[in-house]
């Protein structure tokens, strides 16, 4: 389909425009470079028939062509998110922020949710929260879709900036009326949303400040006062604990993947987290200056055309 050339020129606008022409019972979104398992569509239909209360199934995204360090750690990041965190949210009955691709919908539920927000640059996460607010359940499908990792640091930075800016937009939109939000998704749902979306934003914004405080205290030594020194120790302990937890999550084998992540990727996660912080501050700047700007992610020669 040819989408009319009118602002905003975003993926969610294109998806919503195309969905208006759909007549089937189910709708699925695949990115052009995706390589879903051959049986995924059949599994999705069987899952919908088995679980009539579920309105959307998110398949697991797996990076299978990682070569450099950045791509290996990007694959580790995907493994933590899609094989540990999202299934955990499903078990809690909490809202699940969708992954943008391999989303299988009942078309009537998708239309009831108002389709995608054309102005949100992480339209998938926003739609997952909105469906939960309207009483639609989202589940995780036991099927994999293989993707390629960003080819360079500049490509990765633009993509991660867009994701974080979209998370910020989603949090701002859905927390405008906290009482209504609690009524719709419950205290557990709100807590999970604040932890997984809000916590993602705040942790990467605060992360470099904690490092600076800890390093400054280490170099200042006896010159720091007791309060500052104690605060720096708390910062250092928090960094150690969080990075250790992330490393443990990353060390878990991802079911159906190519095996455990490399040790270099696991021990390099603190550096990767600092890179995410760079993207977060870039996202915060764009949220003010260019909130709806969509930085496209180019794909390499291995992409499916």
Q: Which of 143, 163, 158 is nearest to 102 (CA)?
A: 143
pLDDT in tens, 67-93: 888 888 888 888 888 888 888 888 888
pTM for the structure as a whole: 0.87
Q: 128 burial class (0-12, 13-18, 19+ CB within 10 angstroms)? A: buried
Q: Break the chain into its structural domains and give their ranges.
A: 17-289
Coil, strand or helix at 288 = helix
pLDDT in tens, 4-26: 888 888 899 999 999 989 999 99
Instruction: Tell me which architecture the domain covering 17-289 has in CATH.
Output: Alpha-Beta Complex (3.90)
| Mean of pLDDT values over 98-112 | 93
Q: 244 burial class (0-12, 13-18, 19+ CB within 10 angstroms)? A: exposed
Give 188's contacts (C-beta < 8 A, 6+ positions apart). Answer: 92, 93, 94
Classify residue 9 by its DSSP letter. Answer: -
Among 67-81, 233-247, 250-264, which stretch is predicted with the lowest mean pLDDT?
250-264
Coil, strand or helix at 142 = strand
Nearest-angstrom CA–CA distance, 263 and 7: 45
pLDDT in tens, 161-211: 999 999 999 999 999 999 999 999 999 999 999 988 998 898 889 888 877
């Amino acid at each position: 389909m040819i989408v009319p050339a009118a602002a905003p020129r975003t993926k969610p606008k294109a998806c919503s425009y195309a969905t208006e022409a759909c007549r089937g019972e189910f709708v699925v979104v695949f990115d052009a470079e995706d390589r879903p398992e051959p049986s995924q569509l059949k599994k999705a239909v069987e899952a919908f028939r088995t679980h009539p209360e579920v309105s959307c199934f998110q398949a697991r995204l797996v990076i299978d062509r990682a070569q450099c360090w950045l791509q290996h750690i990007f694959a580790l990041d995907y493994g933590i998110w899609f094989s540990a965190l999202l299934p955990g949210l499903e078990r809690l009955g909490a809202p699940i922020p969708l992954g943008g691709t391999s989303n299988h919908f009942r078309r009537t539920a998708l239309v009831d949710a108002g389709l995608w927000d054309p102005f949100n640059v992480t339209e998938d996460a926003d739609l997952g929260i909105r469906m939960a607010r309207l009483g639609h359940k989202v589940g995780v499908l036991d099927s994999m879709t293989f993707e390629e990792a960003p080819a360079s640091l500049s490509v990765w930075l633009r993509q991660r900036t867009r994701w974080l800016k979209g998370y910020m937009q989603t949090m701002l939109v859905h927390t405008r009326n906290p009482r209504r939000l609690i009524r719709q998704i419950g205290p557990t749902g709100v807590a999970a949303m604040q932890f997984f979306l809000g916590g993602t934003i705040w942790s990467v914004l605060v992360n470099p400040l904690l490092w600076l405080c800890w390093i400054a205290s280490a170099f200042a030594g006896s010159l720091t006062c007791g309060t500052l020194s104690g605060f720096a120790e708390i910062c250092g302990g928090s960094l150690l604990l969080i990075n250790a937890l992330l490393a443990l999550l990353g060390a878990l084998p991802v079911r159906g993947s190519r095996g455990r992540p490399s040790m270099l990727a696991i021990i390099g996660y603190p550096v990767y987290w600092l890179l995410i912080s760079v993207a977060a501050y870039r996202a915060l700047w764009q949220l003010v200056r260019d909130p709806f700007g969509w930085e496209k992610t180019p794909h390499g020669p291995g992409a499916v055309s």
